[in-house]
Amino acid sequence: MRVVKAAGALGAFVHDIQVADAVTSNALFASIRAALLEHQVLFFRDQQMTPQQQRAFAVRFGPIEGHPAYDVVAGTADVQILESTKEKPSRIEMWHTDMTFRPAPPMLTMLHGKVIPRFGGDTLFAGMTAAYDALSPSMQGFLNGLTATHDFAHGFKESLAEPGGYERLAGALAANPPVSHPVIRTHPETGCKAIYVNSLFTVRINELTAAESRAVLDLLFRHVTNDEFTVRLNWKPDTLVMWDNRATQHKPVNDFFPQHRRMHRITVAGDVPC
């Protein structure tokens, strides 16, 4: 297994392995997990992997977390389909950490590229540990101890506004009321601190006035996407990407319309941020 850094703050390409082999190889799995903790997002090219193998690999990290808004691959219970077509293009365009509307958001997300556009459709990732470390000590001290509200309805407002959207997502809305998380969380394995607010799901900082909250969130949303904290992936068929959802944000680049794109996604359950 050969690991090559992709950018300064986070990200690495992993070469010379098939991830599916880590389903049965403890040594290979341990190497991948260690690389993930070090680099926060890993890129694997040319991964010949079935949805069942993708799930079998993911479950080595922990229980699988479903998503209330996505269909799943036929024959599986929880390998989700992320698909954009000419008739129904993808609408998620904002930087985010996956599913922070949950009390215990996922610790890991994994995407396998099945149908990839001929051009466009890159994904950007940002390291929230590097972003935190770049803040002044005074700003770090101010943010530590604050909490913020995260809301499913805010993140899926475009889907809810579609004809029949509210009816389709009524169960998800009821099951996912707003939750609070620390503005700065501590990684449970590395002990590193990371910024834990995102523009898709975070609606306000609870201890501040509405105006103060808006100002601080706007500052953080701009700060975390500075180029120095990011890495960019150009997708190819059968690319597998996995990222530590406790320490990163990501953003799809929707510049490939009207081409077709289809990904298989799976998430691993996480802990309550603290």
Tell me the three-class secondary structure of 166-190, residue by residue: HHHHHHHHHHCCCEEEECEEECCCC
* Predicted pLDDT at 214: 98
- Averaged pLDDT for residues 187-213: 98
Residue 251 domain flag: yes
- Averaged pLDDT for residues 11-25: 98
Q: Of 102, 250, 261, 264, which is the active-site residue?
A: 250
- Averaged pLDDT for residues 33-43: 98
| Cα 217 to Cα 89: distance, rounded to the nearest angstrom | 28
More confident residue, 187 or 90: 187
Residue 260 is among the residues annotated as catalytic for this protein: no
Residue 46 is among the residues annotated as catalytic for this protein: no
| Cα 170 to Cα 191: distance, rounded to the nearest angstrom | 38
Residue 182 domain flag: yes
Query: How many percent of the chain have pLDDT more than 70?
Result: 100
Mean pLDDT of the chain: 95
Query: How many percent of the chain have pLDDT more than 90?
Result: 87
| Distant-in-sequence, close-in-space partners of 273: CB < 8 Å, separation ≥ 6 | 104, 105, 181, 182, 185, 196, 246
Residue 273 domain flag: no
Residue 231 domain flag: yes
More confident residue, 6 or 67: 6
- Side chain identity at residue 259, one-letter code: Q
**What's the pLDDT tens digit per position in 138-187?**
999 999 999 999 999 998 888 778 888 878 888 888 989 999 999 999 99
* Predicted pLDDT at 205: 98
| Cα 112 to Cα 226: distance, rounded to the nearest angstrom | 27
Residue 112 is among the residues annotated as catalytic for this protein: no
- pLDDT of residue 51 exceeding 90, the answer is yes
- pLDDT of residue 250 exceeding 80, the answer is yes
| Cα 227 to Cα 232: distance, rounded to the nearest angstrom | 10
- Averaged pLDDT for residues 15-37: 98
| Selection from 7, 210, 181 nearest residue 100 by Cα | 181
- Averaged pLDDT for residues 222-236: 98
Q: How many domains does the chain have?
A: 1
- pLDDT of residue 91 exceeding 80, the answer is no
Residue 243 domain flag: yes
* CA–CA–CA angle 95, 268, 159 (5° rounding): 45
Q: Of 98, 244, 261, 264, which is the active-site residue?
A: 98
- Averaged pLDDT for residues 35-43: 98
Are the C-beta atoms of residues 184 and 80 closer than 8 Å to each other? no
User: pTM value?
Assistant: 0.94
Domain of residue 129: give its range: 2-268
Per residue in 175-213, is it b (16+ CB within 10 Å) or e — as a string? ebeebebbbbbebeeeebbbbbbbbbbbbbbeeeeeeeb
Residue 265 is among the residues annotated as catalytic for this protein: yes
Q: Of 55, 96, 181, 187, which is the active-site residue?
A: 96
| Helix (H) or strand (E) segment spanning residue 137 | helix 137-143
What CATH code is carried by the domain that includes residue 61? 3.60.130.10
| Distant-in-sequence, close-in-space partners of 216: CB < 8 Å, separation ≥ 6 | 143, 205, 208
Q: Of 102, 150, 187, 265, which is the active-site residue?
A: 265
Q: Give the pairing of strands 12-15 and 41-44.
A: parallel
**What's the pLDDT tens digit per position in 100-143?**
999 999 999 999 999 999 999 999 999 999 999 999 999 999 99
Residue 274 domain flag: no
Residue 202 domain flag: yes
| Selection from 96, 100, 92, 125 nearest residue 221 by Cα | 96
Q: Is 258 exposed, middle or buried (0-12, 13-18, 19+ CB in 10 A)?
A: exposed
| Cα 182 to Cα 180: distance, rounded to the nearest angstrom | 7
Residue 134 domain flag: yes
* Predicted pLDDT at 156: 83
* Predicted pLDDT at 63: 97
* Predicted pLDDT at 69: 74
